[in-house]
Amino acid sequence: MTDLANKVLKGDRLALSRLITHIENYSQDHHAVLDQLFSHSGQAHIIGVTGASGSGKSTLVNRLALNMVNGKNGESHHKIGIIAVDPTSPFSGGALLGDRIRMRDLTSNPNIFIRSMASRGALGGIARAADSTALVMDAAGFETILIETVGAGQSEVEIARLAHTTIVVESPGLGDDIQAAKAGILEIADVLVVNKSDKAAADGTAQTLKAMLAMGEELRAQSNENSRTNWQVPVIKTSALNGDGIDDLAAAVNAHRVFLQEGGEWKIRSTARLKALLERLVRDSLFDAWNDPDNQLKMEEILRFAADHKRSPYQSVRDLLK
Amino acid sequence: MEKKIRVLIAKPGLDGHDRGAKVIARALRDAGMEVIYTGLRQTPEMIASAALQEDVDAVGLSILSGAHMSLVPRVLELLKDNGQDSVWVFVGGIIPEKDGKALEDMGVRAVYGPGTSTTRVVEDVRSAAAE
């Protein structure tokens, strides 16, 4: 066992932090550490939190994490890892990571570990390093891992492949019932939150979403009788500002975990998560091989053939994979 | 993938003027760095915890309240306790020259007064991270 893996398993926070940096920088020498930590993972409940920018995700994560870490009677020793993703600038490659501003209540809590993460060009609303980071936090003994995506639009649905439970945060007044009927982000919700319930339009938004969900369930019942999931997506009104509804949200998230574990879907989702990880590793390994300096001459030749229209890029890639 | 420089920008103490901190954060971002901004009224304990969890190369402290001689040494001490003595700590704000010298003796790597160009800060952080 490597020294770093040992330290991470023993709860050394600096070691965990350094390992996450290695993961983010994609340095190959950390792979041995991940090999060793992998067998210790698989316990944590991984929760995704997504929604439009400004819908209040960070503030909600702050409230939810506080609620979970304190437990009902304040006696809990529940450990929570948080991965907060913000976008990388496509121009400078830099990023301003500001999710901690809303999580000041959590910063010094010994049972909470927050890592801000830049998306570094990954599409889909999360960072490439998020899956492996969740894995090492899991191995390090964090029972719950909250992953906050970048401000998501309609198609940033990667988080659903990474999380056991996906919370989609909506806020009042963002579009009509046609927006709610469109495909995409609402479909991945296991728990729907209408945040900013202190605003007048919140009730209407919650009603619209409930109607949309009811319609979706009817369709699903018609099309697939032995639908393996009969989870009813709850619509929960919260105010991250004053704390209303946070108990309900924590209860719903917990209910979903129990539902997954008792109904057998926990295993299905965990396997789907590993499949997503495997697919990413295959994609990244091929792409890294393509970018390897040792292969540059070959790659330039392929590009030249393509530019001269002598050999199609399709043919070249087929040849490469032989 | 290239290694990204990560910098924590924090405002310890009770003054609410964070314009300078935001300007520096933005300049470092535009220089391609990943900047973690913590917001106002951070205690030294909060800053050290954030620096640890974020595994930063540098910590920038912006202080305009005059409390630098009590806040900064505490941050340095906590970073050291956490095994992060190699983190490059810089301070910006209104710091009298005598205090600036004292802070540098304690381990602060640079003290920037009003009117410092952001280019200089960017270059200093970049060369420090390359060490």
Yes or no, beta carbons of B38 and A13 under 8 Å apart: no
**Band of pLDDT at residue A178, cut at 50, 70 and 90:** low
Q: CB within 8 A of A146, min separation 6: which ones?
A: A47, A49, A61, A64, A65, A80, A81, A82, A83
**Band of pLDDT at residue A59, cut at 50, 70 and 90:** very high
| ipTM of the modeled complex | 0.94
pLDDT of residue A226: 46
**For residue A151, which of A180, A171, A129, A175 has the smallest C-alpha distance?**
A171
The whole-number average pLDDT for the span A56-75 is 84
Interface residue of A8, A22, A88, A100 to substitute, partner B, most B CBs within 10 Å: A100
pLDDT of residue B29: 97
Question: pLDDT digit of tens for each residue in chain B (131 aa)?
Answer: 568 999 999 999 887 788 889 999 999 999 999 999 998 889 999 999 999 999 999 999 999 888 899 999 999 999 999 999 999 999 999 999 999 999 999 999 999 998 899 999 999 999 999 88
CATH code of B76's domain = 3.40.50.280
Asked if the structure places residue B105 within a domain, the reply is: yes
Q: CB within 8 A of A184, min separation 6: which ones?
A: A154, A155, A157
Interface of B with A (CB under 8 A): 1-4, 6, 25-26, 28-39, 42-43, 45-46, 49-50, 52-55, 82-84
Yes or no, beta carbons of A89 and B29 under 8 Å apart: yes
Q: How far apart are CA A287 and CA A79, in angstroms?
A: 36
pLDDT at A155 over 90: no
Total domains in the fold of chain B: 1
Q: Which chain B residue shows the shortest CA-CA distance from A129? A: B1
Read out DSSP for chain B? -PPPPEEEEE-BSS----HHHHHHHHHHHHTT-EEEE--SSB-HHHHHHHHHHHT-SEEEEEE-SS-HHHHHHHHHHHHHHTT-TTSEEEEEE---HHHHHHHHHHT--EEE-TT--HHHHHHHHHHHHH-
Yes or no, beta carbons of B32 and A13 under 8 Å apart: no
pLDDT at A209 over 90: no
Yes or no, beta carbons of A93 and B4 under 8 Å apart: yes
pLDDT at A223 over 70: no
Q: How far apart are CA A240 and CA A61, in angstroms?
A: 9
CA distance B45 to chain A (A): 7
The whole-number average pLDDT for the span A208-227 is 71
Asked if the structure places residue B87 within a domain, the reply is: yes
pLDDT of residue A227: 46
Characterize A14-23 residue by residue with b for buried, 16 or more Cβ atoms within 10 angstroms of its Cβ, and e for exposed.
Answer: ebbbbbbbbb
**Band of pLDDT at residue A208, cut at 50, 70 and 90:** confident
A vs B: CB pairs below 8 A: 86
Yes or no, beta carbons of A94 and B28 under 8 Å apart: yes
Place of tokens 């003054």: B15
Q: In chain B, which residues have their Cβ closer than 8 Å to the Cβ of A96?
A: 25-26, 29, 35, 37
pLDDT of residue B84: 97
Asked if A135 contacts A38 with a C-beta cutoff of 8 angstroms, the reply is: yes
Least confident piece of the model among A155-164, A236-245, B91-100: A155-164
Partnered with residue A306 across adjacent β-strands are none
State the alpha helices, DSSP H only, in chain A.
3-9, 13-25, 31-38, 57-70, 130-139, 159-162, 177-181, 202-223, 246-263, 265-291, 296-307, 313-321
Asked if the structure places residue B1 within a domain, the reply is: no
Yes or no, beta carbons of B34 and A92 under 8 Å apart: no
| Prediction pTM value | 0.92
Averaged pLDDT score across all residues of chain A: 88
Terminal Cα-to-Cα distance of chain A (whole angstroms):
36
Q: In chain A, which residues have their Cβ closer than 8 Å to the Cβ of B45?
A: 108
Share of chain A above pLDDT 70, in %: 91
Asked if the structure places residue B30 within a domain, the reply is: yes
Asked if the structure places residue B101 within a domain, the reply is: yes
pLDDT (tens digit per residue) in A5-41 = 999 999 999 999 999 999 999 877 788 899 999 999 9
Yes or no, beta carbons of B26 and A96 under 8 Å apart: yes
Interface residue of A108, A113, A128, A136 to substitute, partner B, most B CBs within 10 Å: A108
Q: In chain B, which residues have their Cβ closer than 8 Å to the Cβ of A14?
A: 52, 55, 82-84
More reliable by pLDDT, A129 or A124: A129
Q: Can you give the residue range of the structural domain that contains B91?
A: 6-130
More reliable by pLDDT, A15 or A283: A15
pLDDT of residue A76: 66
Read out DSSP for A33-66? HHHHHHTT-S-SEEEEEEE-TTS-HHHHHHHHHH
Q: Provide the 8-state DSSP code for A173.
A: T
**Band of pLDDT at residue A100, cut at 50, 70 and 90:** very high
Residue type, A89: S
Partnered with residue B48 across adjacent β-strands are none
pLDDT at A98 over 80: yes
